C-alpha cells in the first residue's frame, strides 16, 4: 500500500504490542537500548495501560506500550504523530508514574527497578539536537556523574533520521528506516535481508493490509488524524482572526492613540501582516507602514 503509515496507532500496537510478536518488540528494544549479546533482554510481559481519557489527541495521535522486561526493567514506548511542545514534561510525568507504581508490589525502595521511556516522534522536537536518537539521564551539572541509572528517557525523531550506508546498517537504523516510511519497497527488501526482524515486520504488514477488517480500521484511524489536523488548523486561523478583529478591537476601543500604536508595533514584531494589524487596531495601512519602517 502506497504511503502506508506504520505509526498508525492501530497498526503499531498490533506490530509491537502483541505477545505473539514479542520477538519483534525485543528486537526493537534491544536495538534502541544498544544491548549487546551479553545484555540482551530475552523476554517481555505486556501490561495493559489506559490511564488517559479517550480524547482525540490521546486516542488517535498517541499510544503507549507498557511492559516488564526479564530483569524487571520497566519500559514505556510512546508514539506521537501530532506535534506537541510539552513532550518532555509529559514523558517525565509518565515515567514517574511507571517508576512509582512499582511500590504497589513492594514498599522497599531497594527493590525499585530501572524505568525507561522511549518516545518515537513523527516531528522535530529537540531544536538544539542534530542526532535522531537522544538519551537523557539524571546527571550532576558539574561533574556529569550519573546519580542513578534508574531513569532513562529516549527521544527518536524520525524527520532527523537518514540512512547513511545500506551495507552497514544497524538494527536500530533498520527499525527507524522501516517506521519512517521514506524508503522504497526494494530498499526495505535490502534492509530485510540483513535484519530478520524487519523481514518479519514487512511480512506482517502485508498480512495486515490483506485483512479487510483491519485495513478498514486502519483507514478510519488515518481519516480521524487528518480531520484532527484540519480542525486544529481551522481553529487556529479562526481564533487568530477573531482575536485580532474582536478581542483586540474591543480592548482598544477605550484606549488612546498611543496604545494603538504600541499594540500595532508589537504585532509587527510578532510577524503579523499590515492588513491584519490595520483591521485589528483600526489604524490606516499607511500608518501601520510608517510604524513598520520605524521599528
Instruction: Reduce the DSSP state of residue 282 to 3 states and report it.
Output: coil
Question: To which H or E segment does residue 278 belong?
Answer: helix 274-281
Cell of 259: 496604545
Edge-to-edge strands, sheet with 133-139: 44-47, 62-69, 74-80, 115-121, 146-157, 133-139
Where in 52-101 does DSSP place strands (E)? 62-69, 74-80
Taking residue 268's Cβ as centre, other Cβ atoms within 10 Å add up to: 18
pLDDT at position 271: 63
pLDDT at position 179: 95
In angstroms, how far is CA 227 from the centroid of its own chain? 18
pLDDT at position 111: 86
Taking Cα atoms as reference points, which of 94, 103, 10 lies closest to residue 51?
94
User: What string of pLDDT tens digits covers the 295 residues of the chain?
Assistant: 778 999 988 899 999 999 999 999 999 999 999 988 788 898 888 886 544 433 434 344 456 788 888 888 999 999 988 888 889 999 999 899 899 888 876 578 888 999 999 999 999 999 999 999 999 999 999 999 999 999 999 999 999 999 877 778 999 999 999 999 988 888 889 999 999 999 999 999 999 999 999 999 889 888 877 776 666 666 556 665 565 555 555 544 445 577 777 777 767 765 667 877 777 777 888 888 887 777 5
Cell of 56: 482525540
Cell of 159: 524527520
8 Å CB contact between 198 and 174: yes
193, β-bridge pairs: none
Please give the Cα distance from 70 to 19 (Å, whole number): 14
8 Å CB contact between 83 and 106: no
Please give the Cα distance from 260 to 269 (Å, whole number): 14
In angstroms, how far is CA 83 from the centroid of its own chain? 7
Amino acid at each position: 500500500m502506497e504511503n502506508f503509515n506504520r505509526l498508525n496507532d492501530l497498526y503499531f500496537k498490533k506490530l509491537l504490542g502483541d505477545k505473539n510478536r514479542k520477538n519483534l518488540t525485543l528486537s526493537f528494544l534491544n536495538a534502541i537500548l544498544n544491548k549487546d549479546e551479553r545484555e540482551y533482554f530475552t523476554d517481555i510481559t505486556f501490561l495493559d495501560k489506559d490511564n488517559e481519557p479517550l480524547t482525540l489527541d490521546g486516542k488517535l495521535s498517541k499510544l503507549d506500550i507498557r511492559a516488564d522486561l526479564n530483569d524487571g526493567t520497566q519500559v514505556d514506548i510512546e508514539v506521537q504523530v501530532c506535534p506537541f511542545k510539552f513532550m518532555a514534561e509529559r514523558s517525565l510525568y509518565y515515567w514517574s508514574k511507571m517508576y512509582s507504581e512499582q511500590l504497589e508490589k513492594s514498599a522497599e525502595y531497594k527493590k525499585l527497578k530501572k524505568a525507561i521511556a522511549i518516545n518515537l516522534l513523527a516531528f522535530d522536537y529537540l531544536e538544539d539536537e542534530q542526532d535522531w536518537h537522544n538519551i537523557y539521564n539524571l546527571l550532576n551539572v558539574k561533574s556529569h556523574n550519573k546519580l542513578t541509572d534508574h531513569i532513562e528517557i529516549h527521544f527518536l525523531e524520525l524527520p532527523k533520521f537518514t540512512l547513511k550506508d545500506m551495507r552497514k546498517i544497524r538494527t536500530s537504523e533498520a527499525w527507524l528506516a522501516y517506521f519512517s516510511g521514506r524508503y522504497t519497497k526494494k530498499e526495505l527488501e535490502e534492509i530485510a535481508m540483513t535484519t530478520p526482524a524487519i523481514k518479519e515486520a514487512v511480512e506482517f504488514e502485508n498480512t495486515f493490509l490483506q485483512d479487510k477488517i483491519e485495513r478498514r480500521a486502519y483507514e478510519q484511524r488515518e481519516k480521524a488524524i487528518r480531520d484532527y489536523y484540519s480542525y486544529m488548523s481551522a481553529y487556529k486561523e479562526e481564533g487568530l482572526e477573531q482575536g485580532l478583529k474582536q478581542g483586540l478591537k474591543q480592548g482598544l476601543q477605550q484606549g488612546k492613540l498611543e496604545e494603538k500604536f504600541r499594540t500595532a508595533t508589537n504585532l509587527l514584531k510578532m510577524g503579523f501582516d499590515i492588513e491584519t494589524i490595520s483591521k485589528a487596531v483600526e489604524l490606516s495601512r499607511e500608518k501601520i507602514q510608517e510604524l513598520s519602517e520605524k521599528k
